[in-house]
Amino acid sequence: MKKSSRKGFTMIEMVVATALIGVVSAMAVPLFGRLQRTQQFRDTTRHLSSALLSAKSLAATGRRQAGWAGTDRVTTAGVHVLSANSYVVFIDRDGVRDGDEIIVKTVILPNAMSIVSPAAGQEIRYRGNGTVANPLNVTLLDTERNRRRTIVISGGGAVRID
């Protein structure tokens, strides 16, 4: 008997393998997109939480800023909600919301993500000792997937993501 000397795959084997790869890819692509969206929402929440902790740290420094009088120092810092999709981190020398705050950083949230509370115009302001003058919870919403995350800020200045 003569042995077959053909090497390689048949056309049917190639078609079946290609079809299987196509089916697996078709199932994996939507899952990957959802995974990316979930990770982006987590990152947005972490960045806002980090901005709050950064404001707490800035308030505690008591540093003098360029252009301020010799005795002026940072007395408060915080996060001010500009709109449902943006906020700023600021420092202030007198602890009063009177327009003389210095913006340290402006953040615009990714598409379909918004700050539900506090409302636009409200702020979380840290004092120099690390406590919060007005403890508020910050709620973020992913409108594409209808998911919410809440950042809890205690009066003592602690920040926790729920």
pLDDT in tens, 49-104: 999 999 999 998 888 777 767 778 888 999 999 999 999 999 998 888 888 888 99
In whole angstroms, what is the distance from residue 11 CA to residue 15 CA? 6
The token duo for 61 is 């420094």
The fourth-level CATH superfamily of domain 14-161 is: minor pseudopilin epsh domain (3.55.40.10)
The alpha carbon of 97 is separated from its chain's Cα centroid by a whole number of angstroms, namely 25
- The answer for residues whose C-beta is within 8 angstroms of residue 125's C-beta and 6 or more apart is 76, 77, 78, 92, 95, 97, 132, 133, 134
Look over the chain and give the mean of its residue pLDDT values, rounded to a whole number.
89
| Predicted model pTM | 0.79
In whole angstroms, what is the distance from residue 161 CA to residue 49 CA? 8
- The answer for residues whose C-beta is within 8 angstroms of residue 80's C-beta and 6 or more apart is 87, 88, 90, 101, 121, 122, 123
